[in-house]
Amino acid sequence: MKEKKANIAVLVSGTGTNLQAIIDAQKSGVIKSGEIKLVISNKKDAYAITRAQDAGIKTTVITKQEYGEEFENRITEVLNENSIDLIVLAGFMVILTRRFTETFKNRIINVHPSLIPSFCGEGFYGLRVHKAALRKGVKVTGATVHFVNEIPDGGEIIEQKAVRVYPGDTPEKLQKRVMRQAEWKILPKAVETISERIIDNEHL
Ligand code: GAR
């Protein structure tokens, strides 16, 4: 077993089912090269915070209301204080500035609920993505894990998985299928891949 692990911070805004998938993958050993050290939420009432607390993980709430212009600076401070190597955006509904993404270049990954480059970029988040996919009438959608750069959903793709769309699907039904069949599988996988690269000091 490897001694050193990558220190992971998970950034969340909502329900936290993707956070749960990472927690479970850590418990089951799918994620063995990294350890979740911290969960940061930009929403006080996010259920993801409860999930983190139940798993014994340290949590911090950093809201734009409270920090205003200092929002990203405060996040950076907390990440540095905790010697974070890898930042995982798991339903984090904030677009990060170039300044932030450059500071943590190749150290931020995000899960998006479509097959990028479809249904992505500014304005495409959560259920809106699935509504757009259904409106277009695609027969296949899916999820993507990618590095985060200054372009929303524009960074290098790490993992993707396709999911069928069925007649009669609602955005909610489709969202659940995409989560279950794609997001909860490819996100833990990507977290392990990138954590391993970090501890092996591979060029990122
Ligand atoms: C997930 O479907 C995630 O892919 C999506 O929000 C949901 C969060 O659910 N993220 C985005 O749309 C980001 N552009 P969760 O809080 O249960 O993980």
Condensed to tens digits (0 to 9), the pLDDT of residues 108-127 reads: 999 999 999 999 999 999 99
51 in any annotated domain: yes
Q: Would you state the pLDDT for residue 3?
A: 75
Binned at pLDDT 50, 70 and 90, residue 132 comes out as very high
Number of domains in the chain: 1
What's the 1 CA to ligand 1 centre distance in angstroms?
Answer: 32
pTM: 0.97
What's the 149 CA to ligand 1 centre distance in angstroms?
Answer: 18
Q: Which domain holds residue 34?
A: 6-200
Task: Provide the 8-state DSSP code for 91.
Answer: S
Pocket of ligand 1 (CB under 6 A): 14-18, 48, 90-91, 111-113, 125-126, 129, 179, 183
What CATH code is carried by the domain that includes residue 163?
3.40.50.170
Q: Would you state the pLDDT for residue 2?
A: 55
CA–CA separation, 188 and 183 (whole Å): 9
CA–CA separation, 1 and 34 (whole Å): 12
pLDDT at 100 over 70: yes
Q: Which of 129, 172, 174, 176 to mutate to test the pocket of ligand 1 (most atoms within 8 A of CB)?
A: 129
180 in any annotated domain: yes
Beta bridge partners of 157: 146
Each residue of 40-57: pLDDT tens digit?
A: 999 999 999 999 999 999
CA–CA separation, 168 and 114 (whole Å): 19
What's the 83 CA to ligand 1 centre distance in angstroms?
Answer: 25
Each residue of 149-194: pLDDT tens digit?
A: 999 999 999 999 999 999 999 999 999 999 999 999 999 999 999 9
The whole-chain average pLDDT of the chain stands at 97
Percentage, residues of the chain above pLDDT 90: 97
Binned at pLDDT 50, 70 and 90, residue 12 comes out as very high
The secondary element (H helix, E strand) that includes residue 160 is strand 157-164
1 in any annotated domain: no
Beta strands, E only, 6-152: 6-12, 34-41, 58-61, 86-89, 108-112, 140-147
Binned at pLDDT 50, 70 and 90, residue 27 comes out as very high
Residues 6 or more apart whose Cβ sits within 8 Å of residue 76: 100, 103
